[in-house]
Amino acid sequence: MIHLIANHPAHPRRDLVQSMFADRKQLFVDFFGWDVPVIDGRFEIDQFDTPKALYIIIAEETGAHAASLRLLPTERPHMLGTIFSNLCPLGVIADARTWESTRLCLPRRHGAARRRDLRNQLISAMVDVALERGIDRYTGVLPEGFRKDVLAMGWKAEPLGPVVRMPGGPVGAFLVHIEPETPRRLCWTQTYVQAGKAGAA
């Protein structure tokens, strides 16, 4: 089941959000070695996990976190505008109809095929959220290998600058346009899937 959840302490699915933060710590800190904040030794929570953040979370049948990503309004502080603005030599795009997609979390306990399926479900849900909420564009920062995949998925997408080498490897910024025909375009590469959704923010 896919949930769209606001980052609020009183949210009825706060347990699912906490499970997500724990998986983020295991993936981004323990596996990838990112130098990012860890709370209570268990949860990866950074300065952008504010009440303005929205999480698309896929839950296991047990109710625990399976995979997720974070959406941030670019009119508020976000990663590309605050930390990685150097990746956009022509300027960072930030307005009411542009949101940032970050923290794609696909835990390593899933095999490669399962992670790809979960990724496609998250991208599909991200598109659906945009169409429902009047979001025209998503921006973000990705490792260059994955950025190439994102730019080739079939939707209208473009790089926002060249690849920049960082301690964790080369990264780049991207922009994708969300339009009514985007789901159909993503179907051309078997990226878009229909999925059940519950728990709207």
- Give 7's pLDDT tier (boundaries 50, 70, 90): confident
- The residue that leads in pLDDT, 174 or 32, is 174
Q: What angle do CA 170, 175, 179 make, to 5 degrees?
A: 150
Domain total in the chain:
1
What is the reported pLDDT for 201?
A: 52
What is the reported pLDDT for 196?
A: 56
pLDDT tens-digit map of 158-175: 999 999 998 778 999 999
Statement: residue 91 has pLDDT above 80:
yes
How many CA atoms lie less than 13 Å away from 46 in the CB half-sphere? Answer: 17
- Give 197's pLDDT tier (boundaries 50, 70, 90): low
What is the reported pLDDT for 14?
A: 82
- pTM equals 0.92
CATH of the domain at 74: 3.40.630.30
Average pLDDT over residues 60-70: 94
Q: Which residues span the domain enclosing 101?
A: 2-198
Cβ atoms within 10 Å, residue 92: 20
Distance, in Å, from the CA atom of 77 to the CA atom of 72, rounded to the nearest integer, reads 8
- Give 27's pLDDT tier (boundaries 50, 70, 90): very high
What is the reported pLDDT for 166?
A: 84
Average of per-residue pLDDT values in the chain = 93
